Each structure stands twice: as C-alpha cells, then as structure tokens.
Structure 1
C-alpha cells in the first residue's frame, strides 16, 4: 500500500472532519430524510430526494477521509533531527532574489496544501526545489513564470 506523507496537524484536521461528519452531519441528514418521508409520496418529494443526495455526498466524504487517514504516513517534524535541512513538514522562510520578497512556506502533503495559507505541497516544483537545501543555499526553481532564485533564510521544525 502506498503511504502518503501527512503532518500531525493535517491528520488532526481530517480526524476532526470525520468526527463532525459522523456525529453531526450524518444524524442531521437522517433526521431530514425521516421528516421528508413523513410528508408522504416519495416520487415527487423534493426534500426527500435532496436529503438522500446529501446523504450520498456525506457518506462518500466519510469514505474518502477514512481512506486518506488509513494511507497516511504521519510525520511529526518536531521529533526529527534538527539538522538545518529543508525536509517534509519543515517551515521554510525564503527570499525571492529578484524581488527581495520574503515568503514563509510549510511543506505539507498534497491533501493539506493551501498556497494562500503558506502550506506548500511536497510535490510542488518549489517544495521539490527546496528539499535538502540549508540556510544560505540558493535554489533555482522553474516556475510557470520562469526560473526563480530562492535564498533560504530560515528552516524551522515546528
């Protein structure tokens, strides 16, 4: 079975979502189906059909989250050796050499990535270019906008 790297925080968010789906959303949908069923004829009962569709989406998401958690290789970066190298889970501050802009990224699994929040997928070109580098190293990374030089300013394992 292929394992997918995931941070402790990413796994915790998925567990919270799973708990919500099972203990809050699923019972609400079951209640909505029961109420709609009480209205009589199911063939032309829009509330019933909407609730059943919602149930399908909910159950599908529960299965998806459970599958992701079962395949997750949870990596706690705080327990790894702090050798100054950029690794999965590390928080990296880089200086974009052409604009002098400082950017901080946390390298995370595909399912956790959110570039607007600074969560960079391990499989993104930037993350792949930074992995293994140390403070003061310069990584030249090919982005959609062309080649960009990033100088590593800080590496944290938080």
Structure 2
C-alpha cells in the first residue's frame, strides 16, 4: 500500500478517534448486544440486529484507521526546511486574478480535508495546481466551469 501523507494533527485526530472507538464505543456496543440477546428470539429481535450492524460499522472503521495509521507518512511542516515553495502542510494565500477574491488554504491529507475550515486535500485539483509554486507565481486551476487563474500571495509553514 502507498504511504498516506498526513499532518501531525491529522494523525493525532485519527489516534483519538481510534481510542474512542476501542475504549468507549466498542464496549457500549458489546453491552447492547448482550442486553438485546436477553430479549429472546434473535431472528426477530430488531435491537440485536441493529447492535450487530453498529458493531460491524465500528469494527470496519477501527480496521480502516489502523490501516491508515500503519501506512501514514506523518509530515511535521515545522521541521521541514523552508523552500519558499508550496508543499504538503503549508498554508497558502491566493487571489483570483479575475475577481480579486482572496482565499487561504492549508494543504493536508485526505482524511483531514475540510473545505469549511479551508483545509484542502493534497489530492484535490486546487492543491495539485498549487504544490511547487512560489510567491507571485500564477497558476491555472481547472474547475468544472473552466480554468481559473490564481496568484500566490503568501506561503506559511505553520
């Protein structure tokens, strides 16, 4: 499996979710299954089937997180030499050349991406168009409505 790029904060978030699933949710589900078994006939026991389904979802998520963490390439942007180029983990301010609208994005791993928090996936078209660029470079980002030109204003390694 290919390495999965992830920021330090992203890895910590996944570890916290994994801990929550293993120490809180899994025991609660096991207790729900045990309680539902006491109701009798398992063929027509909706509580039992619902708890078993929830257990399946929980176990799959635990496996998914463990696989991601075992293949994670954790990148601490603060420890990488500053190259004055946009790289994974950097925070970038850009301006749309046509509208003068400004945006600030942080380039993160797929699991951390949250557009509402201005965190974009390294695999997104926007991030792919920005990575490797320097301040004052102009880049064309292909969108469903056509290409949009952006100028890089600042790059931060925070």
> Which residue is 2:81 aligned to?
81
> Which residue is 1:19 aligned to?
19
More displaced 10-residue stretch of structure 1: 90-99 or 140-149: 140-149
Q: Does 1:6 align with 2:6?
A: yes
Equivalent-residue separation in structure 1 for 2:55 and 2:80 (angstroms): 41
Equivalent-residue separation in structure 1 for 2:141 and 2:24 (angstroms): 44
Q: CA deviation at 1:83?
A: 2.3
Q: How many residues were matched structurally?
A: 158
Equivalent-residue separation in structure 2 for 1:119 and 1:90 (angstroms): 10
Q: What TM-score do the two structures reach when normalised by structure 2?
A: 0.96
Q: Does 1:146 align with 2:138?
A: no
Displaced runs of 4 or more, over 6 A: none
Q: CA deviation at 1:132?
A: 1.0
Can you give the 5+ residue segments of structure 1 that lack an aligned partner in the other structure? none
Q: Deviations over 1:9-37 (max 9, x none)?
A: 11111111100100110010011011111
Q: CA deviation at 1:46?
A: 0.9
Can you give the 5+ residue segments of structure 2 that lack an aligned partner in the other structure? none
Q: What are the equivalent positions in structure 2 for 1:60-79 lying under 5 Å apart?
A: 60-79=60-79
Indicate the RMSD between aligned Cα atoms, in angstroms.
Answer: 1.0
Q: What TM-score do the two structures reach when normalised by structure 1?
A: 0.96
> Which residue is 1:105 aligned to?
105
Q: CA deviation at 1:43?
A: 1.5
Equivalent-residue separation in structure 2 for 1:157 and 1:129 (angstroms): 18
> Which residue is 1:117 aligned to?
117
Equivalent-residue separation in structure 1 for 2:128 and 2:44 (angstroms): 54
Q: Deviations over 1:113-135 (max 9, x none)?
A: 12222111111121111111111
> Which residue is 2:129 aligned to?
129
